[in-house]
Amino acid sequence: MNSSSNSAAHRSPLLAAYAAFVFAFIYLPIVVLVVYSFNRDGVGGFPPRHSTFDWYRQLFADSAIWDSVLNSLLVAAGAVALSLTLGLLAALALDRGTFPGKALFRRLVLLPLILPGIITGLSMLMFAVFAGFQRSLALAFFGHGTALISVATTELFAGLQKMDRRQEEASLDLGATPWRTFWLITLPNLRLSLIAAGLLIFTLSMDEIAVTFFLIGSDNTLPLEIWGRLRRGITPEINGISTLILAASMVLIVVWYHLRTRSEHQ
């Protein structure tokens, strides 16, 4: 019967061509970006004629870029730690806690994911001014960590819902303390959800602009450093760093699929 659902009517060459067109649309800008990072004559013009590594040499000597990369890594690592800790607690609270306003809390946590980044960023800026905090890298970390609790809670709550309750029940019935049960049963069972959420939060934080834009001080994160340079005009150096970001994303994707397939085989 399988063949009939893929009958001739479905197998239209027109549809296949259209799908190829959509793929081209999705990938063309990315390919152009990478190709022109090796173009001696810079960005633009056609066809790209002379290849060079000069832009990469220039990029590797550019300390402002690498400072901003370090800043971004610090902010992202901090955001992962903060949002996973609070997100785990929030997911546990939603899963097994009893408190008034639980439905409201669930919606509230998700708001930064739903609302435009500018609204969350500006609200946090107002809070910072109200509380007397200076705009800084630390404030950006705090903003990312708080906004991304939404992602951590969603992922970890889904993980908890899939978990086998009987293991925890058995542990508690056999006299383990809740604390011990948490460390020996709950946390190991959530391992994959924690890694997935961590990777996602890390990527989102590394790429975040809208919230960071309003919270950052004089030290830039990588996206804001690039942003600042774009306002001044485009250079192939930015193609170079974009290509490197692309390569780093690819590594993360491969790591992620590797982890996922390994856990599925277990």
Partner 1 sequence: MYSRAYKLLISVPPILWVALFLLFPYALMFAHSFWSVSDGVIFHNWNLSNYRTLIHNPLYWQVLLRTAGIAGSVTVLSVLLGYPLAYFLSFNAGPRKELLYQLVIVPLWVSYLVRGYAWKTILGSDGVLNGFLQYLHITNEPVSALLYSPFAVILMLTHIYTPFVFLPIYASLEHIPRLLVEASQDLGASPRSTFFRVILPLSLPGLLAGATFAFVLSLGDFLAPLLVGGPSGTMIANLVQSLFGAAFDWPLGAAISILILLFTLAILALTQRLEKRWSFE
Beta bridge partners of 39: 51
Region near partner 1 per CB under 8 A, out of 17-25, 55-63, 189-197, 258-266: 17-25
List CB contacts of 240: < 8 A, sequence separation 6 or more.
37, 55, 56, 58, 59
Name the minimum Å distance from CB 222 to partner 1: 9
Site for partner 1 in 50-69 (CB under 8 A): none
> Can you state the angle between helices 102-114 and 149-162, rounded to 10 degrees?
130
Binding residues for partner 1, how many (CB under 8 A)? 87
Tokens representing 85? Answer: 């800790």
Name the minimum Å distance from CB 146 to partner 1: 5
List CB contacts of 221: < 8 A, sequence separation 6 or more.
68, 71, 72, 75, 137, 140, 208, 212
Q: Look at residues 164, 182, 157, 145 and name the one whose alpha carbon lies nearest to residue 106.
A: 157
- Rule CB under 8 A: choose which of 138, 195, 252, 259 binds partner 1: 252
Binding status of residue 238 toward partner 1 by CB under 8 A: yes
Binding status of residue 33 toward partner 1 by CB under 8 A: yes
CA distance 47 to 43: 11
- Rule CB under 8 A: choose which of 234, 255, 258, 262 binds partner 1: 234
CA distance 173 to 164: 15
In the complex with partner 1, which residue's Cβ is closer, 106 or 219? 106
Q: What is the phi/psi pair of residue 183, to 5°?
A: -70, -40
Site for partner 1 in 88-147 (CB under 8 A): 89-90, 92-93, 96-99, 105, 108-109, 111-112, 114-120, 122-127, 130, 142, 146-147
In the complex with partner 1, which residue's Cβ is closer, 4 or 218? 4
In the complex with partner 1, which residue's Cβ is closer, 60 or 133? 133
Name the minimum Å distance from CB 264 to partner 1: 13
Binding status of residue 255 toward partner 1 by CB under 8 A: no
- Rule CB under 8 A: choose which of 40, 44, 183, 260 binds partner 1: 44
Whether 53 contacts 64, CB under 8 Å: no
Beta bridge partners of 174: none
CA distance 51 to 102: 59
Task: State the Rg of the chain over Cα.
Answer: 23
Q: Determine the residue type at 126.
A: M
Name the minimum Å distance from CB 192 to partner 1: 18
Name the minimum Å distance from CB 107 to partner 1: 10
Site for partner 1 in 157-216 (CB under 8 A): 169, 172, 178, 203, 206-207, 209-210, 214
Name the minimum Å distance from CB 113 to partner 1: 11
